[in-house]
Structure 1
């Protein structure tokens, strides 16, 4: 069969990654360069270095999400506090001295608009 890896450029037994890299002229990746370095070059918006472990990257994203949820929870609690103040301000108004009120007050239902949070 002879040398089946002859690509007619005069170089026999040239490694396959060298042939591929020659065809990828826009990518200046050397075969010694790790694959994650090549990927990170293409992901310009992500500044993750290969030295940073994946669990550190995940922990950062989880912490950011927790912070976001804490902010939303805080906004919800502020709205609940406002509702409770409004509800408590209405007690004792009207001269009925609690007539018709049950021993345990009914719950106050409210919708919360998360877009305002």
Structure 2
């Protein structure tokens, strides 16, 4: 459960989420995405879109026609890093992440991390 410290709001919150998610990828992949933007999708959903960031190994595999290998590897990494990313979103929003989903696309090189937060007061997830 997230702590109840004072939390960022608005654009500062979204930039902080973007920066920390990029930092996680840099730390564990050796390279992070070139672009990242975080959005609210309603009151209870945070979407992080990441662009670029193929490692040299991933680009080599993709260029050699092994895109499915890159896709499988990226999916496994995103799932492995999911708990870390959830902790970041919880810490920055002050809300529990009740669901996490991740997807990637190869051409163009894009990824999406989606976090559904526990509803507060009158808000509802759907």
What TM-score does the superposition give when structure 2 sets the normalisation length?
0.23
Q: Give 1 or 2 for the bigger CA radius of gyration.
A: 1
Which has the larger share of strand? 2
